[in-house]
Amino acid sequence: MKDYVTRMKEGQTEIYYVCGESKKAVENAPFLEALKKKGLEVLLMSDPMDEYCMQNLKEYESKKFKNISKEGLELASGEEEKKNVEELKKANENLCTIIKETLGDKVEKVSCSERLASSPCVIVTAEFGWTANMERIMKAQALRNSGMGSYMVSKKTFEINPTHPIITELRKKVEADKNDKTVKDLIWLLFETSLLTSGFGLDEPVNFASRIHRMIKLGLSIDDVPEETPTPPPSAGNDDVPDLEPENEMERVD
């Protein structure tokens, strides 16, 4: 912690950290993108005990700890950058509303993200709730009560990257026709892939696979062909079926 504080950027007031299932998982987490771009150091934690410890460690040398997988991360610095962030939020208000209407109670809210650079979207959790990693740990408890901690289940915020090509094109589609049938599928696909990249599991993997298959068919220009009704086998009295003579006299049954 002492070494981290000595390396903090000028104006940095928080110690950034993230917890995950493994070192590789947290190194590639989308939460890190903007912080890497800005050269901000992040503590990577991959031991299950880290989740419990960090709930009780609030600060070090007056520097507060900040979990970058939770909401409330503000990275914009300078008036011009903050103004740009506000303009992007305003331009995407309608898209955020449509996404929230489509996903319903699957997410608490939809907003523009400051933590993304190369990913189109990510799912973060409430500041005082469980992270995706903590939810995974609690679900893995052998003697857990099925109703235990239901009040702590992750309240998800779906954050979109307003500068990503996928999001800008999706916004254009919504502005042109919000009832476009492909928009709903695209929103659900983005949400479900974000669940996976953010450390959550899928409640309905079959539906996710079906959407992926539809996208693959679209990419291969394959039309959906209805399943053919199987032809029933010919009846015993069908004249078109030749009588098969037994090969051996012993096979003949009187």
Tens digits of residue pLDDT in 110-163: 999 999 999 999 999 988 888 888 888 887 776 666 555 555 567 899 999 999
Rounded to the nearest 10 degrees, the angle between the axes of helix 165-176 and helix 181-197 is 150
- Cα distance between residue 213 and residue 203, in whole Å: 18
User: Beta strands 63-67 and 109-112: pairing type?
Assistant: unpaired
Q: Does 206 have pLDDT greater than 70?
A: yes
Give the per-residue pLDDT at 134: 87
Closest CA to 31 of 81, 70, 69, 74: 69
Helix (H, G, I), strand (E, B) or coil at 21: coil
Characterize 209-244 residue by residue with b for buried, 16 or more Cβ atoms within 10 angstroms of its Cβ, and e for exposed: eebeeeeeeeeeeeeeeeeeeeeeeeeeeeeeeeee
pLDDT of 145 reads 60
Q: What is the pLDDT of residue 248?
A: 53
Which range has the worst mean pLDDT, 35-44, 62-71, 117-126, 214-223?
214-223
Strand segments, DSSP code E, in 63-114 are 63-67, 109-112
Model confidence band, residue 243 (pLDDT cutoffs 50, 70, 90): low
Q: In what order do the strands lie in the sheet with 14-19?
A: 42-45, 14-19, 63-67, 59-60
Q: Where are the domains of the chain?
A: 12-219
Beta strands (DSSP E) in 9-166 are: 14-19, 42-45, 59-60, 63-67, 109-112, 121-125, 156-160
- Position 144 scores a pLDDT of 60
In the chain, what percentage of residues exceed pLDDT 90?
54
| pLDDT for the residue 226 | 53
Q: Which fold has domain 12-219?
A: Four Helix Bundle (Hemerythrin (Met), subunit A) (1.20.120)
User: Given this model, what pLDDT does residue 103 score?
Assistant: 95
Residue with the bigger pLDDT between 53 and 128: it is 53
* pLDDT at 110 (0 to 100): 97
Residue 88: is its pLDDT beyond 80? yes
Contacts of residue 230, defined as CB under 8 A and 6 or more positions apart, other chains included, come to: none
Cβ atoms < 10 Å from Cβ of 55:
13
The pLDDT mean for the chain works out to 85
pLDDT digits (tens, 9 = 90+) for 168-198: 999 999 999 888 888 998 999 999 999 999 9
Q: How confident is the model at residue 230 (pLDDT cuts 50, 70, 90)?
A: low
